[in-house]
């Protein structure tokens, strides 16, 4: 990789990493990409032909009223049919009797659903929903743990044309109230309880609190999961009761391609969560194509995506994409470190997972505990490793590649957002020309996806090796159609900065070979003595130090430099905090990234404030460092004590100054 001043931090780490290069097989990439550029709409129409349509579209893309795109106008389909009914025919590799979901609970218990069993369960539950009054277009809030009934409930909604609104089951009643009221849901589906680290979570109690303030709710459907004694009110019905007399087959509702499949709120890393709406036809087309390119699914794959279905990765790449492809997947209801920090490896070994898709946050947690743990498991079934959710630090990438993949599995870093619906930037194991991988780079935009990196001021494309805002120049099939009942906010948030160009809010650069490097959130950019530094470069430099497991960097006002850098770091097992280590780290960062990046202060903490989807919430660190008493929207924080710890670490240091 060529040198560049802008990429100095990351490139040095990369150079020192021994230049990991993996060649992906395949010869079609350039051809496909070129074709997609030249025949943009036609290209996507060809992808859409791989879905099951009741009626084909009349027009591929309607972009006459930007930013409101309509994909496959006039086309009619059903999402559930695309995931299940399509696999019931005899000529389809006998997918009908293949395991669709291998479920594992945190206590090690397993349940398996074949495609046929899943199909049957969905049909029955769809009828049960109809029997309690759910109709096409009604919103259904689903507040369930990671049990098979969660995808069953989602697919049942899709079957009858209802719009699901899944709320992550770790959220409080207030977060639930906001999402139920915003979507005006008629039904809430929940469980009597669920388990987290061996403890009972009283989901039903949270729902009871919530529905006192949610006038739209007519019924609460309760799944018996924990044999927990719960209060039953007048609106409550048991899942097992309503399926008792529901009939076995439910005619799928044939919907327009533009019919909303679901509402899903973003993670809340940068502010108040936004209610993203996805359509049916465009979204499924995007997922079907991208899953094939990125994973190149094989008949005998056992696919393990560790996301929670409460987030978009779970919606797109646990529910809709793998089921459309007839894949066998593992669904795990638990945390990566329970009962011990080895759980993903244990699951890979137990079920013979071939593809593992997880987050940098989980990987950094495992790294902290050392290599002996993963080395004690048989991980030889793995053929492909994926990551999503945050930029992956080069050192973490290399650890994943070497310690988990034993240098045999490509690591694919997939960049995308709740709003994009599906993967936008990633290496493609199905279609890639033989290319070297660069640890820490998400590589290239997928075919038919028009990403660009632009200058902050005028929106013009920046030269290679120059940082800028990551944008999308053309509509894409998986794109959000709007924010729920808020077209204005949709326009303002994503399309106003540059006229009819989608603003992602992320900061990136493309190197001399055209590889894209994600550099963090635009909101988090540090402005030091006239230079703009991405958080990613600095954090990766910290994580490349032997003592550091995790780092979050932000800035505080500085009279001389405008802003100065401060870092919150979590140490690896076996290291302890000291002034010497602090000094060593400051020197290290100065050497690796350059004198401009010299941190002013380093705080040692046990955990960083993160969203429940595992993303570091730098805006909270920044507000503490700027002396704000109000920290903004914290409804999606994973653990409030992390914020307290950060505040304490900060105050303690400032007392002494």
Which positions touch ligand ATP (CB under 6 A)?
266-271, 273-274, 311-312, 388-391, 413-418, 442, 504-506, 518, 521, 613, 615
Any alpha helices (H) in 296-341, and if so which ranges? 312-314, 321-324
Could you tell me the smallest distance in angstroms from the CB atom of residue 359 to Mg ion?
A: 15
Give which of ligand ATP, Mg ion, none residue 613 binds (C-beta under 5 to 8 Å, depending on kind).
ligand ATP
Closer CB to ligand ATP, 137 or 633, in the complex: 633
442 binds, among ligand ATP, Mg ion, none (CB under 5 to 8 A by kind): ligand ATP
Q: What is the closest distance, in whole angstroms, from the C-beta atom of residue 425 to Mg ion in the complex?
A: 15
- Compute the chain's Rg from CA coordinates: 24
**Helix or strand holding residue 263 (H, E):** strand 262-265
Tokens of 561: 């430099």
* CB 414 to ligand ATP: min, Å: 5
Regarding beta strands 526-528 and 531-533, do their DSSP bridges make them parallel or antiparallel, or are they unpaired?
A: antiparallel
Q: Which is nearer to ligand ATP, 315 or 474 (CB)?
A: 315
177 binds, among Mg ion, ligand ATP, none (CB under 5 to 8 A by kind): none
Least separation, in Å, of the C-beta of 352 and Mg ion? 35
CB of 121 to ligand ATP, least distance (A): 29
Residue 415 contact, options Mg ion, ligand ATP, none, Cβ 5-8 Å cut-off depending on partner type: ligand ATP
Q: Which residue number, 266 or 554, has a Cβ lying nearer to ligand ATP?
A: 266
Min CB(263)–Mg ion separation in Å: 15
E-assigned strand segments in 455-535: 468-472, 482-483, 502-510, 516-521, 526-528, 531-533
Number of residues that bind Mg ion (CB under 5 A): 1
- Kindly report the CA angle at 478 between 488 and 502, in degrees rounded to 5? 45
- Tokens representing 317 are 């790449």
Query: Residue 189 binds which entry of ligand ATP, Mg ion, none, with Cβ cut-offs from 5 to 8 Å by kind?
Result: none
Per-position x/- string for 245-284, each x denoting binding to Mg ion as judged by CB under 5 A, each - no binding: ---------------------x------------------
| Distance of closest approach, residue 482 Cβ to ligand ATP, in angstroms | 15
Distances (CA, A) of 495 to 35, 175, 492: 27, 27, 6
The residues, any chain, with a CB within 8 Å of residue 217's CB and separated by 6 or more, are: 141, 180, 185, 186, 187, 188, 211, 235
For ligand ATP, the closer of residues 206 and 267 by Cβ is: 267
The sign of the CA dihedral 58, 445, 504, 167 is positive
Which one, of 96, 75, 101, lies nearest residue 154 by Cα? 101
Looking at the Cβ atoms of 265 and 604, the one nearer to ligand ATP is 265
71: burial class by Cβ within 10 Å (0-12, 13-18, 19+)? buried
Name the residue nearer to ligand ATP (CB basis): 257 or 266.
266
Instruction: Give the residue with the Cβ less far from ligand ATP, 255 or 538.
Output: 538
Choose among 496, 585, 488, 480: nearest CA to 539: 585
Q: Which residues contact 456 (CB under 8 A, 6 or more apart)?
A: 468, 469
Question: Contact positions toward Mg ion, by CB under 5 A?
Answer: 266
């Amino acid at each position: 990789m060529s040198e560049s001043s802008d990429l100095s931090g990351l490139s040095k780490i990369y150079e020192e990493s021994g230049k990991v290069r993996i060649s992906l097989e395949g010869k079609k990439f350039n051809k496909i990409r070129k074709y997609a550029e030249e025949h943009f709409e036609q290209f996507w129409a060809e992808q859409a032909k791989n879905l099951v349509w009741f009626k084909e579209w009349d027009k591929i893309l309607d972009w006459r009223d930007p930013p409101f795109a309509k994909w496959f106008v006039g086309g009619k389909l059903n999402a559930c049919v695309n995931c299940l009914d399509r696999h019931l025919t005899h000529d389809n590799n006998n997918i009908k009797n293949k395991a669709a979901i291998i479920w594992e609970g945190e206590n090690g218990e397993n349940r398996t659903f074949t495609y046929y069993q899943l199909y049957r369960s969905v049909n029955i539950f769809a009828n049960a929903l109809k029997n309690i009054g759910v109709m096409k277009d009604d919103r259904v809030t689903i507040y369930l743990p990671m049990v098979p009934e969660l995808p069953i409930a989602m697919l049942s909604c899709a079957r009858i044309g209802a719009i699901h609104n899944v709320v992550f089951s770790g959220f409080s009643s207030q977060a639930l109230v906001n999402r139920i009221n915003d979507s005006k849901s008629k039904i809430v589906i929940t469980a009597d309880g669920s388990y987290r680290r061996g403890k009972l979570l009283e989901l039903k109690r949270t729902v009871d609190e919530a529905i006192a303030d949610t006038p739209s709710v007519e019924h609460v459907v309760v799944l018996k999961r924990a044999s927990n004694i719960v209060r039953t009110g007048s609106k409550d019905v048991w899942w097992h009761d309503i399926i008792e007399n529901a009939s076995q087959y439910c005619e799928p509702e044939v919907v327009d391609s533009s019919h909303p499949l679901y509402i899903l709120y973003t993670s809340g890393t940068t502010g108040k969560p936004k209610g993203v709406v996805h359509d049916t036809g465009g979204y499924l087309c995007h997922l079907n194509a991208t899953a094939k390119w990125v994973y190149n699914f094989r008949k005998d794959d056992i696919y393990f995506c560790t996301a929670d279905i409460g987030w978009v990765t779970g919606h797109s790449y646990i529910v809709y994409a793998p089921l459309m492809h007839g894949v066998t997947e593992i669904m795990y209801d638990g945390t990566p470190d329970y009962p011990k920090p080895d759980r993903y490896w244990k699951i890979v070994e137990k079920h013979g997972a071939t593809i593992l898709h997880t987050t940098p946050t989980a990987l950094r947690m495992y790294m902290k505990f050392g290599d002996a743990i993963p080395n004690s498991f048989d991980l030889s079934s793995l053929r492909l490793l994926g990551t999503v959710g945050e930029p992956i630090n080069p050192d973490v990438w290399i650890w994943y590649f070497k310690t988990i993949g034993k240098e045999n599995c490509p690591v694919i870093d997939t960049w995308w957002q709740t709003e994009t619906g599906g993967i936008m930037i990633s290496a493609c194991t199905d279609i890639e020309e033989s290319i070297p991988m660069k640890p820490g780079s998400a590589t290239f935009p997928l075919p038919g996806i028009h990403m660009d990196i632009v200058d902050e001021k005028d929106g013009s494309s920046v030269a290679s090796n120059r940082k800028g805002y990551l944008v999308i120049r053309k509509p894409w099939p998986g794109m959000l159609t709007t924010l729920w009942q808020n077209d204005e906010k949709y326009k303002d948030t994503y399309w106003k900065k540059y006229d009819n160009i989608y603003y992602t809010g992320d900061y990136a650069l493309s190197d001399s070979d055209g590889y894209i490097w994600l550099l963090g959130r635009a909101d988090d950019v540090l402005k030091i003595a006239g230079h703009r530094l991405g958080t990613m470069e600095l954090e990766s430099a910290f994580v490349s130090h032997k003592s550091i497991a995790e780092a979050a960097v932000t800035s505080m006002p500085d009279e001389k430099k405008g802003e100065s850098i401060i870092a919150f770091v979590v140490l690896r097992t076996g290291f302890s905090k000291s002034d010497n280590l602090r000094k060593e780290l400051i020197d290290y960062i100065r050497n690796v990234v350059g004198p401009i990046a010299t941190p002013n202060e380093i705080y040692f903490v046990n955990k960083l404030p993160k969203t429940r989807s595992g993303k570091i919430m730098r805006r909270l660190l920044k507000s503490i460092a700027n002396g704000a008493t109000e920290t903004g929207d914290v409804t999606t924080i994973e653990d409030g004590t992390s914020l307290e710890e950060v505040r304490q670490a900060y105050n303690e240091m400032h007392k002494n100054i």
